[in-house]
C-alpha cells in the first residue's frame, strides 16, 4: 500500500483525491498541502485525508509519504520536483510537465539523478475507450497509422493562473495542446521521432496575453502526422474527440459532450453536470463516472502499480519533456509561420525510421493502387505499372 502527498487543493487535486481515496483501494492520500490553511483544511475534511499542512517541505518529507503528487500551477512544478528529488521521494506530476522544455528537462534530470519513480499524469491517454483503441492499433488492426486528429475545446479554464502567461507559460496551446500531442504520440508510436511542426496560434476572443485558439500539425520521421485542434473559446461544454487513420482502418472516439448519456431538464436544478458544462437546463450531456471517463482511474492504477513493482509507468517525465519540446517548436512556428524542427536534447526511441509504405501486388507487372465496387456491381481496380509508373484502370 502506498501513501501519497497531494500538492494543491484545487480542481485537479479533487480529481486526484477522488480517484485514489474514493475507490476504497489499497493506496491512499495521507497529507494535503495548500498555500491556504483554510483550503487545505476543507480539502482534507472533504476527502478524509488525515493531515494537512501549509509547508510544502513538510508534506514532501513526511516519513509516511511514499509518493508526491503535484497538482499545482505550472510555475510551481520545478520547485516541487526539486524538493521531492532531494528527499528521495517518488513523484507524479500533472501536465504539462514544465512551462517550457528547459524546465521539463531539468525536472527529468532531477528525478533520474535521484533514482526515483516518476510519472507524467497525462490522463487523456488512459480513458477506457482510448486504452482499448490503443490495444487494437498496436495489434495491427488498422495497419500503419498515417494521421491522427485530436480535438480538445471548451469555454476556458477555471482558475485565474491559467490566464496569466507568466504563471502558466502559455495559453491553450500549452494547456490543452499537450494532451493532443501525447495522444498522437501513443497512436503513432512513442518510439518514432517527432521531426517538425507547423502551428497557428492566436488570441481571438479573450482579453489575455496568451493564445486562446490553436491548430497544429506534428510531422514524424515515418511521415505520419499528428494534428491538434484546441480552443478556450468553444461554446457548449467540453469537446474531446480523437480520430486515428491507418492504412487498413480507422478509429473514432468521442470522450465527452456526446457520451451516450443525454438528459433534458426544464427546471435546471440538477447542479453540477460535467466539467466545463455551460448549462444545467435544456438538453444536457452528463458523464456517468467522470474520473473514469477522463482516464484518472486507470492512470493512477498504472502509476501506483508501477510504484509497487519498482518500475516506470507508461507515462514518465521523459514523455512530458518530449511534449514540452514539441510545444516549444509549435510556439516558434506560430511566430515564424513556417515548419520548425523539433529540437530534442535527448532521444530514446528509434534512431532511424522507415517511411510508411504499403505495397499490394496485383500481378508481375502491376501494383494495386485501389479497388472499388461500383453501383452497377462491377469491380474497378486502379493499377500502377512497376516499370513505367503509368496509372491505369481495369473493370471486372
pLDDT tens, 117-170? Answer: 999 999 999 999 999 999 999 999 999 999 999 999 999 998 999 999 999 999
Fold of 125-294+313-341: Dihydrodipicolinate Reductase; domain 2 (3.30.360)
Question: Which one is predicted more confidently, 24 or 340?
Answer: 340
Query: Count of residues for the chain?
Result: 396
Cα distance between residue 369 and residue 80, in whole Å: 55
Helix (H, G, I), strand (E, B) or coil at 394: strand
pLDDT band at 1 (very low <50, low <70, confident <90, very high): confident
What's the CATH number for 3-95?
3.40.50.720
Over residues 44-71, mean pLDDT: 97
Give percent of the chain with pLDDT exceeding 70.
Answer: 97
As a whole number, mean pLDDT of residues 283-296 equals 83
pLDDT score for 275: 62
Cis previous bond, 378, omega within 30: no
- Residue 392 CB partners (closer than 8 Å, separation 6+): 366, 382, 383, 384, 385
Tell me the three cell numbers of residue 144: 500503419
Closest CA relative to residue 237, chosen from 281, 191, 286, 278: 278
The pLDDT, as a whole number, for residue 52 is: 98
122-126-131-137 Cα dihedral, nearest 10 degrees: -10
Domain regions of the chain by residue span: 3-95, 125-294+313-341, 360-395
pLDDT the model gives residue 266:
79
pLDDT exceeds 80 at position 279: no
Strands 282-284 and 263-265, sheet pairing: antiparallel
Q: Which of 104-118, 177-191, 244-258 has the lowest mean pLDDT?
A: 244-258
Residue corresponding to grid cell 490543452:
176
The average pLDDT across 347-375 equals 92
Whether 3-95 shares its CATH topology with 125-294+313-341 is answered no
Amino acid at each position: 500500500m502506498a501513501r501519497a502527498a497531494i500538492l494543491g487543493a484545487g480542481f485537479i487535486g479533487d480529481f486526484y483525491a477522488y480517484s485514489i481515496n474514493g475507490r476504497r483501494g489499497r493506496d491512499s492520500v495521507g497529507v494535503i498541502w495548500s498555500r491556504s490553511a483554510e483550503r487545505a483544511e476543507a480539502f482534507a475534511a472533504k476527502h478524509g485525508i488525515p493531515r494537512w499542512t501549509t509547508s510544502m517541505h513538510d508534506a514532501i518529507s513526511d516519513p509516511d509519504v511514499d509518493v508526491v503528487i503535484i497538482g499545482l500551477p505550472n510555475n510551481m512544478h520545478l520547485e516541487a520536483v526539486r524538493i521531492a528529488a532531494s528527499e528521495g521521494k517518488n513523484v507524479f506530476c500533472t501536465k504539462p510537465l514544465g512551462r517550457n522544455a528547459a524546465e521539463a528537462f531539468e525536472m527529468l534530470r532531477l528525478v533520474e539523478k535521484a533514482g526515483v519513480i516518476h510519472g507524467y499524469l497525462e490522463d487523456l491517454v488512459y480513458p477506457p475507450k482510448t486504452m482499448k483503441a490503443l490495444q487494437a492499433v498496436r495489434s495491427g488492426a488498422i495497419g500503419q497509422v498515417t494521421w491522427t486528429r485530436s480535438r480538445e475545446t471548451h469555454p476556458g479554464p477555471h482558475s485565474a493562473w491559467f490566464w496569466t502567461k507568466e504563471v502558466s507559460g502559455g495559453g491553450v496551446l500549452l494547456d490543452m495542446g499537450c494532451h493532443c500531442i501525447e495522444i498522437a504520440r501513443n497512436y503513432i508510436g512513442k518510439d518514432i521521432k517527432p521531426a517538425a511542426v507547423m502551428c497557428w496560434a492566436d488570441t481571438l476572443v479573450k482579453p489575455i496575453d496568451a493564445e486562446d485558439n490553436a491548430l497544429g500539425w506534428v510531422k514524424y520521421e515515418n511521415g505520419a502526422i499528428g494534428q491538434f485542434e484546441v480552443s478556450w473559446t468553444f461554446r457548449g461544454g467540453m469537446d474531446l474527440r480523437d480520430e486515428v487513420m491507418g492504412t487498413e482502418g480507422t478509429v473514432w472516439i468521442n470522450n465527452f459532450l456526446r457520451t451516450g448519456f443525454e438528459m433534458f431538464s426544464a427546471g435546471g436544478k440538477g447542479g453540477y453536470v460535467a466539467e466545463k458544462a455551460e448549462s444545467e437546463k435544456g438538453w444536457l450531456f452528463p458523464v456517468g463516472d467522470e474520473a473514469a471517463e477522463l482516464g484518472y482511474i486507470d492512470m493512477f492504477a498504472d502509476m501506483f502499480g508501477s510504484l509497487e513493482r519498482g518500475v516506470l509507468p507508461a507515462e514518465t517525465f521523459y514523455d512530458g519533456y518530449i511534449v514540452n519540446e514539441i510545444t516549444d517548436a509549435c510556439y516558434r512556428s506560430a511566430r515564424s509561420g513556417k515548419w520548425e524542427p523539433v529540437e530534442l536534447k535527448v532521444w530514446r526511441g528509434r534512431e532511424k525510421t522507415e517511411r510508411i509504405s504499403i505495397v499490394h501486388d496485383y500481378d508481375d507487372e502491376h501494383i494495386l493502387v485501389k479497388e472499388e465496387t461500383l453501383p452497377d456491381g462491377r469491380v474497378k481496380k486502379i493499377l500502377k505499372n512497376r516499370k513505367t509508373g503509368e496509372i491505369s484502370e481495369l473493370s471486372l
